[in-house]
Amino acid sequence: MLTATRKLLELIRFSHTVFALPFAALSAALAWRDEPFRWEDLVGVLLCMVFARSAAMAFNRVADRHIDARNPRTAGRHLPAGTLTVGTVWLFTLICCVGFVASTLIFDLREPANPWPLYLALPTLLFVLGYSLAKRFTSLAHFWLGAALMLAPVAAWVAIRGFTEMTVPLLLGGAVGFWVAGFDILYACQDAAFDKDAGLHSVPARFGIPRSLRIAAGCHAVMFALLVGLYFASPHLGGVFLAGLGAVGALLAYEHWLVRPDDLTRVNRAFFHVNGVISLGLLAVVLVQLAVR
């Protein structure tokens, strides 16, 4: 059981929850400035995030198992390598889907009740799972993934405050969306040749690596602009947040310096390390800002 659990956590790259969860927590922290803090809200946000992401990643591995088996870079993943069975991963996916829907009940059972998370649970889940099929028919798959992760801060806000004063979560969600799309394009550069030969759709396969790197940089420029907009939209953000934005800009520049059209060997460092620092760093900056303001 412990071995299977470890393999499932490796399969869904549980540690990569660090990309979206800090933004959901950031959105929740801003929402709680104008809404009473409730422990059930915190538990609900955390459970919904973990279950939704785990379901999406597991479904992605099942949907892509034959593609992964043909790609030398991904042939060692658990399903192509046979270290986990398709039935096990399907069962895990279903458990996570049920866990996500059940977790939304927390907000409906609290006082005052907020039924919106439960009402939106199924369409949200279908949209998040749908990303796994997108590269079969559109090069905009990276932006579908961005939109899926954009839901994290938006959904956290709606779960806590409902559909009130949505400018802040939409700006934050938009920043997350373009950030994710940008670094996913960088990551997909590794598979540009394979995707093209396999008939799969991606920005690198369609436009080539040099142009794709510029598109990714443009996405991150939009992300930065939306975070600046967040500063002006939220009355709770000040100088500490601005200083943090300066650091984010430097990290984004470093990320794009790492990845060159003729040298993709440092993509993983850009993808995993730099972006992990950005997400956790922004959360830390906002928490400090809220503490001193």
List, for residues 91-130, the tens digit of each pLDDT value: 999 999 999 999 999 999 999 999 999 999 999 999 999 9
pLDDT attached to residue 8 = 86
pLDDT attached to residue 178 = 98
Residue 2 pLDDT greater than 80, yes or no: no
| Contact (CB, 8 A) for 22 and 279 | yes
pLDDT attached to residue 154 = 98
Alpha carbon distances (Å) from 155 to 16, 62, 162, 221, 290: 19, 26, 9, 24, 21
Return phi, psi of residue 155, to 5°. Answer: -65, -40
**pLDDT tens per residue across span 64-87:** 999 999 999 999 999 999 999 999
Token look-up 């030398």 returns 72
Look at phi and psi of residue 114 and say left if phi exceeds 0, alpha if psi is from -120 to 50, else beta.
beta
Q: What's the chain's average pLDDT?
A: 94
For the question of whether the overall pTM of this predicted structure is more than 0.75, the answer is: yes
When pLDDT is cut at 50, 70 and 90, the band that residue 291 belongs to is: very high
Peptide bond into 112 cis (omega under 30): yes
Beta strands in 36-183 (DSSP E): none
Q: Which amino acid is at 250?
A: A
Task: Report which DSSP code applies to 36.
Answer: -
Structure tokens at 90: 């399907």
| Contact (CB, 8 A) for 213 and 254 | no
Residue 233 pLDDT greater than 70, yes or no: yes
Dist CA 126 CA 205 (whole Å): 26
CA nearest to 31, candidates 149, 127, 152: 152
Dist CA 128 CA 132 (whole Å): 8
Residue 260 pLDDT greater than 80, yes or no: yes
Task: Report which DSSP code applies to 128.
Answer: H
Structure tokens at 266: 């440092």
Start-to-end C-alpha separation, the chain: 47
When pLDDT is cut at 50, 70 and 90, the band that residue 195 belongs to is: very high
Residue 211 pLDDT greater than 90, yes or no: yes
When pLDDT is cut at 50, 70 and 90, the band that residue 1 belongs to is: low
Dist CA 13 CA 190 (whole Å): 18
| Contact (CB, 8 A) for 158 and 169 | yes
